[in-house]
């Protein structure tokens, strides 16, 4: 029983860490996408203005 609990605890910890990493990656990718989108809009906007 004790070994099972230890394994479960380890797995739970790993999953939690993985989730955290995944969340950070999602934020980064979202930020990059938003930045790219805004940059594209700015480029098109300046091109249209000129």
Domain that residue 36 falls in: 1-50
* pLDDT at residue 40 is higher than 60: yes
Query: In the chain, which ranges are continuous DSSP H helix?
Result: 2-49
* pLDDT at residue 12 is higher than 60: yes
What pTM did the predictor assign? 0.41
In eight-state DSSP terms, residue 50 is -
Q: What's the domain count of the chain?
A: 1
**Contacts for 23 with CB less than 8 Å, ≥ 6 apart:** none
Which sign does the torsion angle of CA 10, 15, 20, 22 carry? positive
Total number of residues shown for the chain: 50
* pLDDT at residue 50 is higher than 60: no
pLDDT of residue 46: 64
């Amino acid at each position: 029983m004790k070994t099972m609990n230890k394994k479960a605890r380890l797995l739970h910890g790993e999953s939690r860490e993985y989730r955290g990493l995944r969340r950070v990656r999602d934020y980064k990718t979202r930020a990059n996408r938003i930045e790219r989108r805004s940059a594209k809009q700015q480029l098109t906007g300046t091109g249209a203005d000129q």
